[in-house]
Amino acid sequence: MRTMFMHRSAKAIYILGIMLCLVPGVSPAVALSLGIIYALMWKNPWPRVSASGSRLLLQSAVVGLGFGLPLAQVWEVGRDSFSITLSGILLTLTLGYLLGRMLHIPPRTTILVSCGTAICGGSAIAAIAPIVEAKNDEAAIALATVFTLNAVALLLFPVLGHLFGMGQEQFGTWAGIAIHDTSSVVGAAAAYGDTALHQATVVKLTRALWIVPLALAASSFSKAGGRARVPVFIVLFIAAAALHTLFPQAEPLWSWINRGAKILLVLSLFFVGSGLTRDLLQKVGARTFIQGTALWLCISGLTLAGILGGVI
């Protein structure tokens, strides 16, 4: 009887958390924190629904954000960040490989953590894992490492941005390059400001496009030979920006969709946070976590120094 009552209470509290995230003014960081607190205190009653829901809501939010940007701005930011993104990916993969060798981490786990850090976190890991024939536990360890660092980044980056007096575009570029998953990138940038959000979204999606060449490169060295595809939501994001450009007279509608996208973003981060369970944290091995953390700190620090120094 007590177990049934606790299960029902957990469901009620989870639904309450969702409702709180729909209240205007709730920030992405607050939504993520609520999700994490829930996950550590109660068991997620609908883990599969929240996992698939977080991906769908996030991708829908990213597409919605596209309606708030003219296509020319998307092109300009993507073009300007191309060389920085490429050099950052190559540096991250190289450092990840060296750290993996130093810490004696299995090669496939090293590849997954490095790719997740270099491009777009869980999406990159999910794309690369079958190509390199990674085992389920190797993928789980890499995902848990990246997921944990994502949560830290979403809460820490806005604080550091204000501490270093970064401008909106500076912070957006830093978040887009240095944070793993798209959810945490847009969450941290949204907490910093609208300009930072738009900048970070474009930089991040430019970075995410590198899943395709990276997957093709990995398949050439693997017997699995997996196929690489451009994520559909990136194509839809560009299409949304094109509609914004072609039909400027519909600005009230684009603005309404853009505001709705920000609400979806907040809700998706609650789902993301509720997936950070004790079991997931226990899967993170000490050496793998050290590799992921050291790699992330190195890339974040170098990118920050480059932005503040005017190099980036």
Exposed/middle/buried for 111, CB within 10 Å: 0-12, 13-18, 19+? buried
pLDDT band at 181 (very low <50, low <70, confident <90, very high): confident
Contact predicate 22/55, CB 8 Å: no
What's the pTM? 0.73
Token pair, residue 307, equals 């932005």
* pLDDT over 70 at 222, yes or no: no
pLDDT digits (tens, 9 = 90+) for 186-204: 889 988 998 999 899 888 8
* pLDDT over 70 at 3, yes or no: no
Token pair, residue 132, equals 């390199």
Contact predicate 71/245, CB 8 Å: yes
Backbone angles phi, psi at 131, to 5 degrees: -70, -40
Tell whether the torsion through CA atoms of 297, 144, 215 and 183 is positive or negative: negative
Would you state the pLDDT for residue 284? 64
Nearest-angstrom CA–CA distance, 27 and 179 = 18
**Residue holding tokens 């957006």?**
172
Nearest-angstrom CA–CA distance, 41 and 36 = 9
For the chain, domain boundaries:
46-308
Q: What is the mean pLDDT of the chain?
A: 82
Which residues have a Cβ under 8 Å from the Cβ of 7 and sit 6 or more positions away?
A: 45
SS3 content of the chain, % helix, strand, coil (to 5): 80, 0, 20
Nearest-angstrom CA–CA distance, 185 and 181 = 6
Nearest-angstrom CA–CA distance, 27 and 160 = 17
Contact predicate 201/193, CB 8 Å: no
Contact predicate 260/56, CB 8 Å: no
Would you state the pLDDT for residue 209? 75
Q: What is the mean pLDDT of residues 121-135?
A: 76
Would you state the pLDDT for residue 170? 95
Element (H, E) at 72: helix 71-102
Nearest-angstrom CA–CA distance, 216 and 218 = 5
Contact predicate 138/132, CB 8 Å: no
pLDDT: which is higher, 87 or 5: 87
Q: What is the mean pLDDT of residues 4-24?
A: 79
Nearest-angstrom CA–CA distance, 218 and 190 = 33
Token pair, residue 186, equals 């847009």
